[in-house]
Structure 1
Amino acid sequence: MPTLHVELFAGRSKEQKRELVAGLTRETCRVLGCEPGAVDIILIDVERDQWATGGTLWSEKDS
């Protein structure tokens, strides 16, 4: 059973997450030849002050 862990900035709507998991499930099944019920997806919301790139917190970057 494939399990996907997806980390993303907090603040996405439930509808955006619903669309994301539907697309990820569909493509996982297409590529791996499995049934949708075999695909688990764990979404991890991360606040911008808990994520840094290039030594700078995302909460301190220009939008």
Structure 2
Amino acid sequence: MPNITVQLLAGRDINQRRAFVKDVTDSAVLTLGARRGDVRIVFEEITPDTVANGGVLASEDDSRAEVVSRFVPQASS
């Protein structure tokens, strides 16, 4: 039974998740020979202040600002 954990920025909508799990499940069935009902996918939502790339928090990395702004609502100041 494949157990697949996906870490991604919070904010993806339900339709994006549906499409993703369909595609990943189809791939697991085709590539691994898994039974469709045995493919488990778990989403772990992360926030820009809980992940860093290259020693910089995503929330403080200007090169990631566009991606972060698409999926994570900005806090009001």
- What is the TM-score normalised by the length of structure 2? 0.78
Alignment match, 1:10 = 10
Q: Which has the higher contact order (CA 8 A, sep 6+)?
A: 1
Unmatched 5+ residue regions in structure 2?
Answer: 66-77
State the identity %: 38
Pairwise CA distance, 1:56: 0.5
Larger radius of gyration: 2
Map of 1:48 onto structure 2: 48
The 1-side partners of 2:16 and 2:37 are apart by: 20
Deviations along 1:5-44, whole A, 9 cap, x unmatched? 1100111111111111111000000001122101000110
User: In the TM superposition, what is the alpha-carbon distance from 1:61 to its structure 2 partner?
Assistant: 1.5
Q: Distance in 2 between matches of 1:22 and 1:39?
A: 10
* Segments ≥4 residues shifted beyond 3 Å: none
Give the aligned CA root-mean-square deviation in angstroms: 0.8
Please give the TM-score of this superposition, normalised by the length of structure 1.
0.93
